[in-house]
Amino acid sequence: MFALGIMYFLFDRSTEPTENFLKTKFRNKPVLVEANLKALHAGYSFAITIEALPSIYKVPPAKIKKGKYRHISGNQAIAWGFMAAAEKMGKRLFYGSYPITPASDILHELVKYKSMGVITLQAEDEIAAVCSAIGASYAGQLGVTASSGPGLALKGEAINLAIMAEIPVVIVDVQRGGPSTGLPTKTEQADLNIALFGRNSESPAIVIASSTPSNCFNYAYEAIKLSFEHMTPVILLSDGYLANGSEPWRYPTMADLPDIKIPEPKLNGKEFRPYERDNKTLARYWVVPGTKGLEHRIGGLEKEELTGNVSYESKNHEKMVMIREEKVARVANFIPELNVKGDTSGPLLVVGWGSTYGSLLTATKELQIEGREVSLAHFNYLNPLPKNTEELLSQFDKILVCELNRGQFCNYLKSNFPKLDYESYTKVQGQPFMVAEIKDKMISVLDQQVTV
């Protein structure tokens, strides 16, 4: 309390909030109220009387939308995003999970809301966790699971099953230092490759990434929306930095959240064909088992187009592989285009994805204030990439890709758009980027261009 009194003076804030808190918390123990208030006021008075303290800091009000705010961590936000999606769809949320750092807090949060219809299962292993989530979605509810790097590796076979059977399910990967058990309590972005490519055969999944603790809510909601509207698994990438970080978060209303349009079958007197598709999305229809007239076969063996019967016919297999690939590619028509912080062309574009957003944005803004020509493009949608990605990137002389791995996103961009000039800047120390590190690298790249 004494130290808190000093802090109130240093930041020119009223002690009234703490005074009210103490009077409420210890209302039945007035002696504790008096003792704490005396310590608080003594600290404040001490700060006023000594001359060794620095000047008072004044923090202006944040320029944010009006509304009701609370602080929220990334893992809490993910849990709440899933619950909001379930509420919007009128479905029950099922969360099957095996505890693993730093994803366990999502389970800890969801288990509190049994009264709201949330079902949680602490499974015996990672495989059981993802299979239970797939089963929940197959049964007509919202199946979700989460893990970290080693757990995502174990879930790969079941994710392939969901891709083949075209069952919606969301898999959260809260990334940590690896490989193997690696650095469980440290952050990293090194699971991008496994999220994009870490399954056997041709098995594309939608991959998105949150970039702040609060927008973990938005991208958890978006993961459900994309998965169930397009009838395919979605991998949501977070990491230890976002999971344990927190920031102010404005409560949305249900009206603020976009509708989730489930592809439901329309028989119109015809025989049901389980692999008949929506013309725009190529999503097959979501059918709850046991629905009269909609019985069908499902599983990991290749299916005949339209009928869903098991098929070993070679041309049918190739066609189904191409359809599943095109279905994911068409998601680009339903996600926002990539935007730039700063000029839309110039000598240098800084590119990042996921949790590096805060440090990259701050570094970019500081250099822009100093008169440097630099812009920022930050990715939240990774597969498919936004439709305007190549057009936007091609407007810059140099593209500096910053990430907490050994250059996985940079290599991914090179494979998609090989004609552009990239430079990779990486860090794998289990720590996020410091703003000073990013600024030094950006200045170095800009100065090299001037020299050349």
293 located within any domain:
no
Question: What distance in Å separates the CA atoms of residue 225 and residue 134, rounded to the nearest whole number?
Answer: 16
> Residue 273 burial (CB < 10 Å; 0-12/13-18/19+)?
middle
For the range 272-275, what are the long-range contacts, defined as Cβ-Cβ under 8 Å and sequence gap of 24 or more? 272/296, 273/306, 273/307, 273/308, 274/298, 274/303, 274/307, 274/308, 275/166, 275/303, 275/304, 275/305, 275/306, 275/307, 275/308
pLDDT the model gives residue 37? 97
Amino acid identity of 383? Answer: N
Give me the domain span that covers residue 446.
Answer: 346-451
Identify whether residues 131 and 161 lie together within a single domain: yes
The radius of gyration of the chain from alpha carbons, rounded to an integer in Å, stands at 25
Same domain for 243 and 353, yes or no, is no
Q: So what's the pLDDT on residue 452?
A: 60
Do 404 and 435 lie in one domain? The reply is yes
Question: Which residue type does 151 have?
Answer: G
Considering the domain architecture, whether residues 154 and 225 belong to the same structural domain is answered as: yes
Considering the domain boundaries, does residue 279 fall inside one? no
- Look up the CATH number of the domain holding residue 387: 3.40.50.920
Domain assignment present for 36: yes
pLDDT tens, per residue, the chain with 452 residues: 999 999 999 999 999 999 999 999 999 999 999 999 999 999 999 998 987 777 788 888 888 888 999 999 999 999 999 999 999 999 999 999 999 999 999 999 999 999 999 999 999 999 999 999 999 999 999 999 999 999 999 999 999 999 999 999 999 999 999 999 999 999 999 999 999 999 999 999 999 999 999 999 999 999 999 999 999 999 999 999 999 999 999 999 999 999 999 988 877 667 888 999 999 999 999 998 888 888 888 899 999 999 999 999 999 999 999 999 999 999 999 999 999 999 999 999 999 999 999 999 999 999 999 999 999 999 999 999 999 999 999 999 999 999 999 999 999 999 999 999 999 999 999 999 999 999 999 999 999 987 66
Among 225, 256, 287, the domain-final residue is 256
74 and 44 within one domain: no
What total number of domains does the chain contain?
3
If asked whether residues 178 and 112 sit together in one domain, one would say yes
Residue 123: the pLDDT is: 97
For residue 195, the tally of other CB atoms under 10 A from its CB is 24
- Domain assignment present for residue 209? The answer is yes
| Cα gap 377→358, rounded to integer Å | 12
- Within-domain flag for 149: yes
Are both 119 and 211 inside the same structural domain?
Answer: yes
Q: In this structure, are 173 and 24 located in the same domain?
A: no
Domain boundary among 256, 280, 311: 256
Query: Is residue 76 domain-shared with residue 147, that is, in the same domain?
Result: yes
Q: What is the CATH number of the domain that holds 170?
A: 3.40.50.970
Cα–Cα dist 1/139, whole Å: 54
pLDDT score, position 62: 81
Residue the block writes with tokens 């439901």: 264
Q: Classify residue 110: in a domain, yes or no.
A: yes
**Domain contains 243:** yes
Residues 157 and 190 in one domain: yes
* Alpha-helix runs per DSSP H in 63-113: 74-89, 104-110
The pTM of the whole model exceeds 0.85: yes
In a domain, 199, yes or no: yes
Q: How far apart are CA 61 and CA 441, in angstroms?
A: 32
Q: Which of 241, 256, 271 is the last residue of a domain?
A: 256
Enumerate residues 6+ apart whose C-beta is below 8 A from 85.
Answer: 93, 142, 220, 221, 224, 225, 257, 260
| 239 shares a domain with 182 | yes
Q: Are residues 238 and 380 in the same domain?
A: no
